[in-house]
Chains A and B, each alone.
Chain A
Amino acid sequence: MTDLRRGSTQVLVLSLLAEEPMYGYQIAKELERRSEGYFDFKEGTLYPLLHRMEKEGLVKGEWQVVEKGPSRKYYAITPEGRKVLEKSSAEWTTFSQRLLKILGQEAEPAST
């Protein structure tokens, strides 16, 4: 379950960074906003993930000085990160389709 959750957070973060470089707090807020609070996680768990992805070469971090307030570390997706995102997105799509098929909800949107 932990691996599943970690895998899903990684693909979500990479999909956000595929749009534009973002910093940690911005990523956390954007995930919260887009999932309408469904992906509720402790914000501190985002940083080990970002640092791991940076070490693996999936994202590249760069500090930027902000006029008002503390400096921010912006993360940008790398070409390697885009490849992983593409592969992971396909895997998650297949996974959710198979799951819905088993649950008998193939053609219907998931109910809340």
Chain B
Amino acid sequence: MPSLEEYLSHLKRQLYLDRTTNEKILQEIRSHLVESAAGLHQKGYSPEESIALAIARFGEAEKVAEMMRQVYVESANQAVLAALLPVALTMAFKWVILPFLERIGSWQGNPTPAITISLALLALLIPGLTMRRWRYGYAAWAFFSLIAIAQM
């Protein structure tokens, strides 16, 4: 059976997340395993047996890491998709809606600044609503929104 440090470093290698997230997850799991092993030691198990049993009860590092990764990767994927919305909205407006309006003759020339700003704000709001709990969300949102505004 692996030692506590071996188990944690194996788990760390499987997580593939950013360093801060990795450290927070590992700190929490370490705390759990230490307390679990201490409880088992009090029941009469040797220190080595206590660690081994605590790890066995916790589960395989690969499975725990995979489940944890899913939680964070799903959020990241959702945030990236949401962040791409401003670009998609702007492209749709510029290449589809505007040419269509020009073709039917009811719209001539460029949209007024007020309409441009309104659309940019709308594009900014949509991803913001979906990413408010993701700490990198605002950075990605701001980045893609700037691209969107630049394209207008």
- B57-89 interface with A by 8 A CB criterion: 57-60, 63-64, 67-68, 70-72, 75
Residues of A within 8 A of B72 (CB): 51
Q: Using C-beta atoms within 8 Å of the partner chain, give the interface range for chain B.
A: 20 to 34
CB distance from A10 to the nearest CB of B (A): 13
CB distance from A28 to the nearest CB of B (A): 8
Q: A48-B68, A48-B70, A55-B134 are in contact. Are A70 and B34 (CB under 8 A)?
A: yes
Q: A25-B36, A47-B25, A48-B70 are in contact. Are A42 and B58 (CB under 8 A)?
A: yes
Q: Are A43 and B31 in contact (CB under 8 A)?
A: no
Q: A24-B28, A48-B70, A55-B71 are in contact. Are A43 and B59 (CB under 8 A)?
A: yes
CB distance from A17 to the nearest CB of B (A): 16
CB distance from B27 to the nearest CB of A (A): 7
Q: Are A25 and B32 in contact (CB under 8 A)?
A: yes
Complex CA–CA separation, A52 to B32 (angstroms): 18
Q: Which residue of B lies closest to A56 (CB)?
A: B133
Complex CA–CA separation, A43 to B57 (angstroms): 6
- B1-52 interface with A by 8 A CB criterion: 25, 27-32, 34-36, 38
Q: Select A72's contact among B31, B64, B133, B134, beta carbons within 8 Å.
A: B31
Q: A42-B59, A47-B25 are in contact. Are A25 and B71 (CB under 8 A)?
A: no
Which residues of A line the B interface, CB within 8 A? 23-25, 28, 42-45, 47-48, 51-52, 55-57, 69-73
